[in-house]
Amino acid sequence: MKKRLVRSKTDRQISGVCSGLAQYFDLDPTVVRLIFVVATLLGGPGLVIYIVLAIVMPEEGSESAVVEKPKRDDIE
């Protein structure tokens, strides 16, 4: 099964972006959250990146997050 970058539905504080990134990179969600907080407080683009990811990343279990394998009769 392929890894997909999706927002988490279960382990979320605001929109599930940090949990989704943590699952994808096999990290603790708290570490990812701290990285975003530090990046924001130090004048970096942490908040802007978070907002963009919240808009762009599909939510776990949504149709856009599911990739179906092509059926054999569809392939020519």
HEC string of the chain equals CCCCCCECCCCCCCCCHHHHHHHHHCCCHHHHHHHHHHHHHCCCCHHHHHHHHHHHCCECCCHHHCCCCCCHHHCC
Quickly tell me which residue has 């989704």 as its tokens.
20
Sign of CA dihedral 62, 64, 69, 73: positive
pLDDT of residue 34: 93
pTM higher than the cut 0.75:
no
**HSE value, Cβ hemisphere, 13 Å, CA-based, for 31:** 7
Confidence of residue 50 (pLDDT cuts 50, 70, 90): confident
